[in-house]
Amino acid sequence: MRRKKLLLLGGSSEAIELQRRLRQYPQLEVIFSLAGSVSKPRVEASRVGGFGGVEGLVGYIRREAIDLLIDATHPFAANISFNAYTAANTVGIPHLQLVRLPWEKQEGDNWIEVKSHQQAADILPELGNRIFLTIGRQELSKYAHLRQLWFLMRMIESPSPPIPPGEIILARGPFSLQEEIELLKRYQIQVIVSKNSGGDATYAKIVAARQLSLPVVMIKRPTFPPANRVFTVDAAIDWLLNFL
C-alpha cells in the first residue's frame, strides 16, 4: 500500500515540531518545504524555494502526487497561505492551516495597533525618537525614509539596503525577559515596533515593554484564507490521523 504524501509548508516553529513528531508515522511520507528566506534554517528541508504562484504549486502537487497539504508558514506569509488554499482546492486534496494564536493585549499594555508597515512608519515620529524595530529584515525599507529617528533593528540575517539609520543586532530568539529589559534600557528605547506573530520565542519583548511602560506599535496579522484551521500541533496531528 502506497504511503500518503504530505506536503508540509514550513516557516514556523510549529512546522518544525510537527515535522519531528510525524516521524513516528511510517505510513506517511512528509515533504517539508521552506521558502528559503533564511539562508541557514533551523532544520533541513526536503525542498527550498517558491513554487511559482498558484499554478506552480498546482503543478507540483500533481507531479509529486501529493495527498495532503498543511500550511504551517509564518502568520504573516499571507501570499503562500492563499496560494496553498487555492491550489489544494483546485487539485481537490485535503488542506489544513496550522497557525499559532496571536498575542492578546493584557492589562498594562500600551499597544497602538496598525494594519501595515506604512501606517506604523507614519505614526512613529509622534511617539519617540529611539525605536526598537523587531519586524525581521524584509520590510525595513518601509522605515528607511525616517532619517530623523534612530532604530535598533534585530533580525536573524543581515538586511539589504535601503535600511533606516541606527544599529543592527543579528540574533535568533527565544530571548529572556531580563535580556529584553536590559536591552531596552541600554539603548534607551522609547517605542517598540512588532508584528503580532504570537508564540513564546519573542513574547518577552512585549512583557518588557509592559513593565517599562513603553508603547508598542503592533502590526496586525493579514487576512487568512477561509481554510480549515487549527492552532496547535496536537490538533494538526489529529486532523492528519483521519486520513491515515
The model's pLDDT over 206-215, given as tens digits with 9 standing for 90+, comes to 999 999 999 9
* Rounded distance between C-alpha atoms, residue 79 and residue 92, angstroms: 20
Is residue 36 included in any domain, yes or no? yes
Residue 161 shares a structural domain with residue 208: yes
Residue 170 shares a structural domain with residue 204: yes
pLDDT above 90: percentage of residues in the chain: 87
Helices (H), the chain: 13-21, 53-63, 78-91, 117-127, 177-186, 204-211, 233-241
Give the per-residue pLDDT at 193: 99
Backbone angles phi, psi at 155, to 5 degrees: -160, 175
Residue 115 shares a structural domain with residue 203: yes
Query: Which of the two residues, 86 and 41, has the higher pLDDT score?
Result: 86
When pLDDT is averaged across residues 117-140 and rounded to a whole number, the result is 97
Residue 212 shares a structural domain with residue 232: no
Residue 219: how many CB atoms within 10 A of its CB?
21
* Rounded distance between C-alpha atoms, residue 242 and residue 244, angstroms: 6
Is residue 152 included in any domain, yes or no? yes
Q: Which among 63, 90, 73 has a CA at the least distance from the CA of 14? A: 73
| Contact in structure between 172 and 233 (CB atoms under 8 Å) | no
* Rounded distance between C-alpha atoms, residue 19 and residue 28, angstroms: 11
Residue 203 shares a structural domain with residue 123: yes
Q: How many independent structural domains does the chain possess? A: 2
When pLDDT is averaged across residues 52-81 and rounded to a whole number, the result is 95
DSSP string, 141-156: GGGTT-TTSEEEEEES
Is residue 106 included in any domain, yes or no? no
Residue 9 shares a structural domain with residue 37: yes
Residue type, 98: L
Provide the CATH number for the domain around residue 47.
Answer: 3.40.50.720
* Rounded distance between C-alpha atoms, residue 152 and residue 143, angstroms: 12
Is residue 130 included in any domain, yes or no? yes
Per-residue pLDDT band for 123 (boundaries 50, 70, 90) equals very high
Give the per-residue pLDDT at 43: 56
Number of H helices, E strands in the chain: 7, 12
pLDDT at 44 over 70: no
**Exposure string (b/e) for 87-98, b if CB count within 10 Å is 16 or more?**
bbeebebebbbb
Residue 90 shares a structural domain with residue 120: no
Residue 195 shares a structural domain with residue 229: no
Which domain covers residue 19, as residue numbers? 4-101+223-241
Chain position carrying cell 535568533: 172
Residue type, 112: I
Is residue 232 included in any domain, yes or no? yes
Residue 79 shares a structural domain with residue 150: no
Residue 126 shares a structural domain with residue 205: yes
Give the per-residue pLDDT at 24: 96
Q: Which among 84, 82, 81, 104 has a CA at the least distance from the CA of 93? A: 84
When pLDDT is averaged across residues 173-200 and rounded to a whole number, the result is 96
Sign of CA dihedral 117, 118, 124, 129: positive
Residue 134 shares a structural domain with residue 215: yes
Residue 116 shares a structural domain with residue 200: yes
Q: Which are the contacts of 188, defined by CB distance < 8 A and separation ≥ 6? A: 130
